[in-house]
Structure 1
Amino acid sequence: MRNPSPENTLSFEIIDRISAAAKLEEGHAVLRENMHRFDLKHVAYLGLNIPSERRRKPLVAVTYSPEWQRHYEQSDYVNIDPVVSAGLGGILPIDWTEIDRTRPTIRKVFGEAQEFDVGMQGLSFPIRGRYGEFALFSINADVPARNWPSLKKMLVKEFMVISYYFHSWALQVEQIEQNDFAGKLSEREKECLRWSAAGKTIWDTSAILGLSERTVRFHLENARSKLNALSTTHAVSKAISYGVIPLP
């Protein structure tokens, strides 16, 4: 696996290619072609309750086998899948290895997923939008348990950005109007986010902008609050996906 640099250059390279795609399948193909660069086995996007006159069904783009997709749908697993349930009830990334599997039905879902070669480990990113839509962006890996914590740390950082951008881009493909956050952020807040997107630390940003570190933290916290983000990385990913700041 190629280790992404601290500046998330690989993430932004992928985002740049997705932005040039005109169809959902084309954007998903970009993800599929880059899975090996993250040691991933599968990548999946599921968008529910999409307010579009052109599409009544969920937005689906997955690399799982057709057999597993068919089995999952026929078994109505979406209503008992613990990953979907956790996503609907929270906003933090979901580590599949931490899900309680004491219930027989939950063990059955995970057991059959293994039979269909889904992957031993998984991460899912819940995404909620202003139009009432809900999306779940999932990635799967097959690495030794001892290697999962370090891989997971990198994947959370990279795919927090990619997942939100992919969802925003998917809505654009469906011609759903995007939120206008540009007017909500001050120029200083945008500047601080832009330098964070470029991989600069708070100290770096303070030196570049001629501000104190405390002031930079203040602007980043304000931006996080206005964008309803969990972290600076989350705020950067949202700002990029909504077009508030450009790709580095």
Structure 2
Amino acid sequence: MLTREEAISKAKAELKKEYSKEEYSLIQAVRSVEDLEKAKNLLIQRIKEWFNINFPEVTVFDDKLVELISVFSVKENFDEKKLSNIVGDKKAVELTLKAKNSFGAKLQKNDAEALQQLAVQVKSINDTIKYMEEYIEKTSLKVMPNTTRIAGAVVASKLLAKTGDLEKLAKMPASTIQVLGAEKALFKHLKTNSKPPKHGLIFQNAFVSGSPPKERGKKARKIAAKIAIALKADAFTHRDIATYLK
């Protein structure tokens, strides 16, 4: 019989071994990208509202708007040639003309610099997201080789992050995997007897999303069945079966 100290030591060793699995780093990476995307979207909205003080007529959005502000900061600094490198020749002419006739207020130098710095930070977030996505692609292929080759790194890693454990995910039936990520729609179906969801996260797989709407349910069931088999190989047998599943 183990002593208390031996039992604690054994438990610590088992936990250390469990958390040394690369799947847990992959889960954190996926969740980090989700957090970064949320932060980015909030900041872009804030940047747009701030820039509207200076240039309310602006018709550039999202990453293009961030790039524009990071280069020029305010409309008074627009240069048509440089602007065309960001938005194209036609849009550059349009924006330059609108800027000249804009009723937007001129920002103070320190205000313009602060806005520009915020745009630079959003660009940095974009770079981090790109790096993390490349990391997820490589790590997903190592942790879940069969599932990644069948479903794609994005879907495979998000399914893992949703459940938090590869073995737990591998034990789920295909019908559950099919609707993972669509819990709200599923609960609504159970509560109000509305139409059940046909797919959850696996909709992001091109095999499903690229299909006509009427065929998506059938395609989702098919890919979910393949994912369920691939997951069992990844979690338990560690055999390469992706070629046979395609």
Same fold (TM over 0.5): no
**Structure 1 or 2: more strand by fraction:** 1
TM (norm. structure 2) is 0.30
**Structure 1 or 2: more helix by fraction:** 2
TM (norm. structure 1) is 0.30
